[in-house]
Structure 1
Amino acid sequence: MLGTILQASFFSAFLVDAAPHPHHRRADNGVAKTPPMGWNTYNHYSCYPNESIVHSNAQALVDLGLADLGYTYVTTDCGWTVADRLANGSLTWDATLFPSGFPALGEFLHGLGLLFGVYEDAGIKTCSEGQDQAGSLYHEAQDAATFMSWNIDSLKYDNCYSDAATDYPNVDYTPSTSPSLRYANMTKALDAQSRPVLFQICEWGVDFPALWAPALGNTWRIGNDIIPDWRTIFRILNQAVPNQPYTGPGQWPDLDMLEVGNNVFTTAEEQTHFSLWAIIKSPLVIGGALKDEYTSISEASLEILMNEDVIGYNQDSLGVGAGLKRRWTEEGYEVWSGPLSGDRIVAAVINWDDEERDLTLDLPDVGLQYAGSLKDIWGGKSAEGVKTSYSGSVAAHGVLLLELGDIITAGTYSTSLFGSSDGITTTFESVYANTTSSKYTVSISFSTAPTKATTIELSTSANTTSQTIKVPASSKTITSTLSLSAGSTNTITIKSGMTIDSITIESPTGTYYAGQTDFTLAGSAVIEQCGTSGCAPVGYKIGYISSTGTATTTIPATVSSASGTEAKYIEIDYINNDVAFSTTWDWGSNSRNITVSVNGGDPVRLEVPLSGHHSELYSPGLGWWDTATLGLLLDGWVDGDNEVVVANAADTDVSETWGADFVGLRFFD
């Protein structure tokens, strides 16, 4: 979005919020306390549903036991109506496709204990390709009353043929006004009816609806349609990232309908798809054929859809969506996690590689040091007393989905769990470090304070030379520095005549290097000023980073390794609002690259997701002032000065000419 970046400087005088502020949902009507679940005709039958299809699949929801698990909304998507309204202006159904009529369809669904969902459009026509069908624009009040007379329970409201200023194009990703205005009209019409309905806003993520949709409806589509190809999962997840803070009871980000059961993904891919939709708290709407004249869902897909643990994560009463925690682009995996009720954590490690392999979750990446209980959902395993990390085999494009309970926060190591003692020497195992450094802080807690001053000796696997630490009289806790190596296998040995209860480890705070002041630019890269509170934390960013545009700085480091080099952790503050609308059907991924190289070594690529929390169309900065942060562990640091180059040297991904914008980085030495 070169043009978008150019326009950003025009708005530099305007105020912009750097951090998201979730809005209140519309008056709480008791709908969607948890993400809605159900079945929809579109993914399998496109805009060609009929009465028999809906009847047979709805019956299958009941017969297969899916309804008992919460899949209750049954929605007939595009293709059910006709081009012309009745003489009184009302919508009507296609009598050839639905000979019994829509009121009767609702009665049938309600008779099965299911809920009746209808699809319509906020434009003059629906999105039914190749067939004209009436939309609800300018007819909102009448259509809401009609739907209510049919006893509907939910309305999915699409966004085609909606922009009068551009003569109502079928699809318009850059409308002249915000779609929110048309959705507000339907909200008003629905709220005037006698009972609440689930209102599903489907404007494909245009105008960053997370900022306004919760005030109007119960769910909002975060992006363009899911497509029947594995690459669609990465694209949608990249757009889900900035939506996570807005999730909560009554307001849910909709990642689109599930492809589970449509025979387009492998079983492992379906598990990944279903798991991430569930833990992010998307509505779980089945898009596959369950049962019709020609098709029955496979046992493997049905087993995925009926996994009660995964459904439980989606329906958890806490209502907090999982977020992206770490991404290793070149290694082909990433970690998502989020909190659950009952002081539990759910974590997912996605294997993007085309081969099965073992992957490891370092618990500190999701804020933990210990889990008394662990459930490996798709591996069918459980474990107790998990310290610092957990590994498991993950199929190609599969996911390691874990539920962690009886948890302890990262950095805390009790002797009873992590230590062993012979009465004089206490050794702590499985100590984690995000970077290799001699500047970690350790706090040692004793069972009883010494009556007089004494000393202890401390050494680590990263520095076997003992250091002597003084313990003042009457002190139950002392603090010192120590050396650790990046990873989860450090050991700490303490020689003391006193009993040690626990130790607490704190990482170095790091040093910040701002793109504006600390980097030298070359090639196409330029510095841009952002509006008030934008491009946090410094108010500036470096844009136009291409294969020839670079930002270079010198960072001093302390290295004590005999090899002369060490691995150090950095956190990159980046900006990306390159939203994939028109490119969704092809290579569009909602991502941009940023590469970092140290001392002329091979550049390490990080493919970053969207960071924008503001409209890509109308906000000051167009969403290109919103900073996000991801971490990266880099080898090749030497003692003394190190040359660090931030660029877009991404030979393996040529689809994006421009890299992510760069705000700065924090270096943990």
Structure 2
Amino acid sequence: MHLNWTFLHIFLLDLARGAALKPRIDNGLAKTPPMGWNSYNHYACSPNETIVKSNAKALVDLGLDKLGYRYVTIDCGWTIPDRVNGSLTWNETNFPSGFPAVGEYIHDLDLLFGVYEDAGIKSCQTDIEQAGSLYHEAQDAALFASWKIDALKYDNCFSDEATGYPNVNYAPSTSPKLRFANMTKALAAEERAVLFQICEWGIDFPALWAPALGNTWRIGNDIIPAWRAIWRTLNQAVPHTSFAAPGQWPDLDMLEVGNDVLTIPEEQTHFSLWAILKSPLVIGAALKDEWTSINKDSLTILANQDVIGFNQDSLGKSADLKRRWTEEQYEVWSGPLSNGRIVAAVINWADNARELTLNLPDIGLQYAGQVKDIWADKVVKDVKTSITSTVESHGVMLLELQDTVAAGLYRSQEFASVKGNTYTFESIYANTTSDKHEIIVQSENTSKKTSLKIKSSMDDKIRSISIPASRNSVSSKLALQTGANNTVHIESSIPIKAIQIKSPQGEYYPCTNFDPSGSSKLETCDSGFCKPTGSKLSYLDSSNKASIAIQATVPNTSQSSSTFKYVEIDFTNNDIAFSTSWDLGSNSRNITIAVNDEHPVRLEVPLSGKHSELFGPGKGWWDTSTLGVLVGGWKNGTNVVVVGNESGDDVVQSYGADFVGLRVFD
């Protein structure tokens, strides 16, 4: 068999003429992420009619269908090795009533019927062979339409002719895109709208092309029944989140909730992050069969209407990774919801329960009139600057924030107490220790010139500021300490409405200003990449580093023996865990920063690549991402800053992420 060059030629001509395939959003499906049940995670490639019917009925009996779980998809193992009279057919031993009858049973439950197939000559397998759809796309799409399917999960095994049709090929000779486009065109030719789920394992960074072909795309390799798969998947999801939108959703793979492989806090984390990243929510557990019923705690997680509501929110925006504290083992994700709400998740990666604090400025807020702590099942009112909660080992603090105020704005009604002419503002946040913060005082209009006196809890100095007549705001520099516990005192004869705090912007230091040592290497990227520097330092490790001398200031009133400054690191990482995903592959690399020979601060960064590791510009290693970290050891004057990968003995990859530059908020 050979590739259908006639169709390929026509397809490419259509693209050149501007008659490209319509975006799959035009099929009217997946306005919110799809929800349902799939046979694979629990039953592997061994589904049968009894199993499918029993679990489909359980969706209804347990009330999950009313919550949105409506797609029932039969994964691999339903078909046979060879076509019959040229057509796919079902395994009659496992599906004695036939696939159309199973579909009818599912439809009679007011559910939706999903089928699995493959873009190769055979479908992915364990110990059985099954026919694939390569070269039969139009025929199979017509067959599926006659069966009245509602969804097609389309896999990517045995598909690369140039390399001999290997089962799993993580380095194909060409992009898998055109094979999926063949099925897209075939489905579009049928009158029945079908949810098309592209499953090419994130090989060719499908976020760039899959939205035009299908409703969902898998971001990476299969989830495995282990806690470490959550870390690996989230690291790979980071560059995909900006592509989520109605009709097009990044697929983090099916849920392991209910399969008794994760603890309940781990299941809550798994479900929460899949939901707020707008992944399809597809149950992979046995809900009900001859041997198994889902446990009550897992069912409660799957049925949590708040979390489902975050996933199905009409705004259709994914949460993003905001901050990560590698050595402290926690991180923050957050994103917008409809009606001005915000969702935030603080993940506890540590092996012990502990109190964790979310500083609201890390998610762009300063105040929230109401915060709902989903898994703790409590509501907190009038939250200023930060909120703290106990988080179980591997658990998550999942919050819905309402009636919010943007970061940096401290209204008197929430943050100030007044005694005589003195306003005391508390819970003032600073991301860095510096005397270069700017305070803007917003007051009532004054008909004549007046003055203010301002003092922070970090600074003994009292700053006197004149307010000209007919003005209602004035600014000054202010010294603040890193953290959320600063206090600002303002003595004023006129009412103060609010204060605004702006962090110093500091200075940017591109990698081209660093001095590399050993085998670390400065590389130039193509125009428009490795932003904002245009270059990057590669091959950094514990011995081969890069250093620079940076001038900084430390307030004389610093109350800490080690002054911390906020540093934003621009990096690139496209070390994708394809074949290693079954084991310790994590989609992450370390980068460390040490100041003046202090202990290096380690940041384990996720993927930044937004292009294919195989075919994209720079193979995805030219795409920059940014994360912030607090670094101690700063002093007045010259500071020696060293970037490398000085990590512990548990490092899987000795090379660090590639370094583009950093900004010191001084």
Structure 1, 562-571 or 276-285: larger mean CA deviation: 562-571
Q: Provide the C-alpha distance between the structure 2 equivalents of 1:620 and 1:303, rounded to a whole number of angstroms.
A: 45
Shift, 1:24, TM fit: 8.4
Deviation at 1:651, TM superposition (A): 1.4
Structure 2 residue aligned with 1:11: none
Q: 1:50 aligns to what?
A: 48
| Equivalent residue pairs, number | 644
The answer to whether the 8 A contact 2:458-2:559 is kept is no
Q: For residue 479 of structure 1, report the CA deviation from its aligned partner.
A: 1.0
Q: Deviations over 1:230-255 (max 9, x none)?
A: 00000000000000110000000000
Shift of 1:465: 2.2
1:457 and 2:470 aligned: no
Give the drift of 1:557: 1.3
Looking at structure 1, the residues matched to 571 and 613 of structure 2 have their Cα atoms a distance apart, in angstroms, of 16
Change (3 A) 1:297 1:564: closer
Q: Report the CA distance between 1:563 and its aligned residue.
A: 5.3
Equivalences for residues 450-599 of structure 1 within 5 A: 451-516=447-512, 518-559=513-554, 560=556, 561=558, 565-599=562-596
Give the CA RMSD over aligned residues. 1.0
Amino acid at match of 1:378: W
Deviation at 1:565, TM superposition (A): 3.7
Q: Residue 564 of structure 1 contacts residue 639 of structure 1 at CA under 8 Å; is this kept in 2?
A: no
Of 420, 440, 445 in structure 2, the residue corresponding to residue 443 of structure 1 is 440
2:73 counterpart letter in structure 1: T
1:609 and 1:27 map into 2 onto residues whose CA distance is 29
2:62 equivalent among 26, 51, 64: 64
User: AA paired with 2:103?
Assistant: G
Measure, in 1, the Cα distance between the counterparts of 2:516 and 2:116.
Answer: 52
Aligned residue runs from structure 1 range 106-145, under 5 A: 106-145=103-142
1:208–1:98 CA distance, 2 compared to 1 (3 A) = same
Structure 2 counterpart of 1:82, one-letter code? I
Amino acid at match of 1:650: S
- Aligned-partner SS, 1:400: strand
The one-letter code sitting in structure 1 at the alignment partner of 2:642 is V
Mapped contact 1:443–1:478 kept (Cα < 8 A): yes
- Out of 338, 347, 350, the position equivalent to 2:335 is 338
- 2:579 match: secondary structure: coil
Residue 99 (structure 1) shift: 0.1
Match of 1:233 in 2: 230
User: How far did 1:464 drift?
Assistant: 3.0
Q: Deviations over 1:438-467 (max 9, x none)?
A: 001111111222x22222110001113211
Contact 1:524 1:546 in 2 (8 A): no
Runs of 4+ in 1 over 6 A off after TM superposition: none
Counterpart of 1:163 in structure 2 is 160
Equivalent residue in structure 1 for 2:403, among 397, 401, 406: 406
The one-letter amino acid of 1:540's match is S
Matched, 1:387 2:379: no
Greater RCO, CA 8 A, separation 6+: 1
The amino acid of 1:222's aligned partner reads I
On the 8 A contact 1:565/1:637 being kept in 2, the answer is yes
Secondary structure in 2 matching 1:618: coil
Looking at structure 1, the residues matched to 164 and 649 of structure 2 have their Cα atoms a distance apart, in angstroms, of 41
The answer to whether the Cα contact below 8 Å between 2:245 and 2:317 also exists between their aligned partners in 1 is: yes
Aligned AA for 1:49? P
Change (3 A) 1:382 1:479: same
Q: Determine the C-alpha separation between the residues in 2 that align with 1:263 and 1:39.
A: 17
Which secondary structure state, in structure 1, belongs to the residue aligned with residue 619 of structure 2?
A: helix
Q: How does 1:317-396 map to 2 (within 5 A)?
A: 317-396=314-393
Q: Secondary structure at the match of 1:489?
A: strand
- TM-score normalised over the length of structure 1: 0.95
**Structure 2 stretches lacking a partner, 5+ long:** 1-20
Q: Is it true that 1:282 corresponds to 2:275 in the alignment?
A: no
* Aligned pairs (5 A) from 1:637-652: 637-652=634-649
1:254 maps to 251
Shift of the alpha carbon at 1:564?
5.7
Q: Give the Cα separation in 2 of the matches to 1:581 and 1:574.
A: 21
List per-residue Cα deviations over 1:282-315 (Å, max 9, x = no partner): 0000000000000000000000000000000000
2:83 to 82, 85, 89: 85
The alpha carbon displacement at 1:618 in A equals 0.8
Q: CA deviation at 1:654?
A: 2.1
Partner of 2:18: none
Query: What amino acid sits opposite 2:59 in the alignment?
Result: L
Shift of the alpha carbon at 1:359?
0.2
Unpaired segments ≥5 residues, structure 1: 1-22
After superposition, give the CA deviation of every residue in 1:408-431 in whole Å (9 maximum; x if it has no partner). Answer: 100001101111112300111111
* 1:469 Cα offset (Å): 1.1
Shift of 1:127: 0.4
Report the AA paired with residue 35 of structure 2.
M
Matched, 1:33 2:31: yes
CA 1:605–1:195 in structure 2 vs 1: closer, same or farther (change >3 Å)? same
Q: Assess, with a 3 A threshold, how the Cα gap between structure 1 residues 587 and 281 changes in structure 2: closer, same or farther.
A: same
Write the deviation string for residues 157-197 of structure 1: whole angstroms up to 9, x where unpaired.
Answer: 00000000011000001101100010000000000001211
**Inter-partner Cα distance in structure 2 for 1:382 and 1:390:** 12
Cα deviation, residue 27, structure 1: 5.1
1:652 positional shift: 4.2
Shift of 1:475: 1.2
- Match of 1:6? none
Distance 2:362 2:531 in 1: 23
Q: Post-superposition shift, 1:394?
A: 0.2
The 3-state SS of whatever aligns with 1:128 is coil
297 and 636 in structure 1: CA distance in 2 versus 1, 3 angstrom threshold: same
2:3 aligns with none
Deviation at 1:619, TM superposition (A): 1.4
